[in-house]
Amino acid sequence: MPTDQFREIETSQSDALDWLAEHGDTLLSYAAARVADLATAEDLVQETFLAAVIARHHFRGESATETWLVGILRRRIADHYRMLSRRPKGVCLDESRMSEKVIDQGATRANSGTILGVGDYESEEFRSALDECLQRLPSTLAGVFVLRVLDGLEVGELCDMFQVSRGNLRVRLHRARAGLRDCLSRTWL
């Protein structure tokens, strides 16, 4: 191998290790908040770093490295949900998947008649209930909801990612919100 190729390999390894040390935790937290399990989040972060190493020559430095890496990760998450939406359906999630704590708190809130308050959105219990409800949604609906509402992606970008029309995207978002509203009213309120 010529010396230039050795330098190229050393540089890419150095870049990858630096990015991992500086941004690994942030990317993992970002992914874990948007997918069903930690193993999937870790896989998506690994794919992100691999894609970044391959495409590092295209990074123009017009944004922070972390911003660039999060952009790559967002596309990986969208690809993940797109792939899930193409899998055949056949697994039915049941009540046993919900944690006892969420069920108990949902029953308590339903009996007390309390309404979801502003502080509830930041509570660990609510996030847990929301995660459970997102897992119950079909992946096509959960993916669109997470990327639009939690990540703030633009409608046009989502239409391109999921290869759907704006009308179809609106329908998916409506169905996701309705499904979450129904699930949260049973399990949280």
Rounded to whole angstroms, the Cα distance separating 116 from 153 reads: 26
pLDDT for 129-184, tens place per residue? 888 888 889 888 988 898 888 888 889 988 888 888 999 999 999 999 999 999 98
pTM of the predicted model as reported, rounded to 2 decimal places:
0.55
Report residue 96's pLDDT band, with 50, 70 and 90 as the boundaries.
very low
Q: How many residues does the chain have?
A: 189
Rounded to whole angstroms, the Cα distance separating 183 from 189 reads: 10
HSE, CB side, 13 Å, CA atoms: give it for residue 17. Answer: 6
Positions of CATH 1.10.10.10 in the chain: 95-187
Positions of CATH 1.10.1740.10 in the chain: 3-86
- Per-residue model confidence (pLDDT) at position 54: 86
- Is CATH 3.30.1600.10 the classification given to domain 95-187? no
CATH code linked to domain 3-86: 1.10.1740.10
Q: Output the 3-class SS for 120-167.
A: HHHCHHHHHHHHHHHHHCCHHHHHHHHHHHHCCCCHHHHHHHHCCCHH
- Write the burial class of residue 39 (CB in 10 Å: 0-12 exposed, 13-18 middle, 19+ buried): exposed
